[in-house]
């Protein structure tokens, strides 16, 4: 699933290409694509796109009256659509803009297409009033942004929530923008077990984790900004995620995995757990 670095860089690319374009239509291709009924998408018709912003893992297409909040989920993408075919493969929704004349005199009729591969069809669009958009569902329950969270903010959250740190990092109500890949990388960079308890890490542990969050996010964003499109998971920089069996780049120990039904926790025993191996099943606890 795209995380903060991928979403932020993609928002910047879309703003560069589409800002100022006037919206003329919005077409959902199935009943699950549009998640809200009020305000209607038509309230934005005739308005120019101000920018494509971001909150957490959501893209925000901001028009003066209405903001379209887009979540890509696991297999979604919001991509320029020049063909505008009647039945696009994997198409969930399409934003159509008025034709625009380019500097060379040609006419640009490129639309924006929300696609989703796979069978789940969980990607979608919410329409919210631009005034107060960040206080409207689904954005109203998000925690502080991963890129800017302070040591003190994270320390307060650790003290108030007794959780495994890996699960805490992935919980968007705690911190917005981190997913499975970044959680693996952050825990490794902070030299903490993915199963370490947030409350027990305390103020000092929170400061170390906060620094690792900022470092990993900055590294990922720098890489994404070198690209012309959104990366796939295997291309993103990292030492742990998806590298089960590979040597840890810091100590040479084999990267280990704890497999869950929907995701994998990767870690280095030498760097993170004092050489101890975490049992590879969903019910086991951290081996002491």
pLDDT one-digit tens code per residue, 120-162: 778 999 999 999 999 999 999 999 999 999 999 999 999 999 9
Q: What pLDDT sits at residue 55?
A: 98
Q: What pLDDT sits at residue 281?
A: 60
Q: CB of 185 within 8 A of CB of 216? A: yes
Q: CB of 26 within 8 A of CB of 93? A: yes
Distances (CA, A) of 217 to 72, 149, 250: 19, 11, 19
Per-residue pLDDT for 287 more than 80?
A: no
What SS3 class is residue 256?
A: strand
* Vertex 194: Cα angle to 191 and 200 (nearest 5): 80
Cα Rg of the chain (Å, integer): 21
Mean of the per-residue pLDDT values of the chain: 93
**Max CA-CA distance within the chain?**
69
pLDDT one-digit tens code per residue, 42-85: 999 999 999 999 999 999 999 999 999 999 988 889 999 999 99
What SS3 class is residue 48?
A: strand
pLDDT band at 103 (very low <50, low <70, confident <90, very high): confident
Q: Which residues of 164-200 are buried (b: 16+ CB within 10 A; e: fewer)?
A: bbbebbbbbebbbbbbbbbbbbbbbbbebbbbbbbee
- The secondary structure of 53-100 as a DSSP string is EEETTEEEEE-SSEEEEEE-TTTEEEEEESS--SS-TTEEEEEEE--E
pLDDT above 90 covers a percentage of the chain that reads: 85
pLDDT one-digit tens code per residue, 185-210: 999 999 999 999 999 999 999 999 99
Query: Looking at beta carbons, which pairs linking 258-266 to residues 24 or more positions away fall under 8 Å?
Result: 258/194, 263/180, 264/180, 265/166, 265/183, 265/184, 265/194, 266/184, 266/188, 266/240, 266/241, 266/242
Mean pLDDT of 154-182: 97
Least confident of 2-6, 22-26, 102-106, 185-189: 102-106
Q: Which position has the higher pLDDT, 164 or 101?
A: 164
Q: Which position has the higher pLDDT, 57 or 31?
A: 57
Q: What is the dihedral of CA 192, 193, 198, 199, to 10 degrees?
A: -90
Best CA proximity match to 275, nearest among 267, 263, 266: 267
């Amino acid at each position: 699933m795209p995380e903060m670095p991928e979403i932020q860089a993609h928002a910047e690319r879309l703003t560069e290409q589409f800002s100022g374009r006037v919206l003329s239509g919005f077409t959902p291709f199935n009943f699950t694509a549009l998640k809200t009924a009020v305000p209607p998408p038509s309230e934005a018709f005739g308005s120019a796109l101000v920018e494509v912003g971001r909150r957490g893992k959501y893209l925000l297409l901001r028009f003066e009256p209405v903001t379209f909040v887009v979540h890509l989920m696991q297999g979604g993408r919001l991509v320029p659509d020049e063909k505008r075919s009647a039945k696009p493969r994997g198409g969930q929704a399409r934003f159509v803009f008025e034709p625009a004349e380019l500097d060379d005199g040609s006419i640009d009729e490129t639309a924006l297409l929300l696609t989703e591969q796979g069978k789940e069809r969980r990607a979608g669009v919410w329409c919210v009033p631009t005034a107060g958009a960040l206080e409207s569902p689904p954005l109203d329950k998000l925690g502080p942004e991963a890129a800017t969270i302070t040591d003190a903010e994270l320390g307060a959250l650790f003290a108030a929530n007794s959780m495994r740190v890996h699960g805490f990092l992935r919980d968007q109500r705690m911190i917005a923008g981190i997913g499975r890949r970044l959680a693996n990388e952050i825990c490794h960079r902070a030299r903490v077990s993915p199963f370490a308890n947030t409350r027990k890490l305390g103020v000092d542990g929170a400061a170390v984790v906060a620094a690792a969050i900022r470092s990993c996010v900055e590294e990922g964003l720098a890489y994404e900004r070198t690209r012309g499109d959104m990366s796939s998971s295997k291309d993103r920089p990292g030492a742990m995620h998806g590298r089960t069996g590979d040597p840890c780049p810091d100590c040479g120990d084999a990267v280990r995995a704890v497999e869950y039904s929907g995701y994998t926790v990767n870690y280095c025993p030498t760097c993170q757990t004092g050489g101890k191996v975490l049992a590879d099943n969903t019910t086991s606890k951290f081996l002491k």
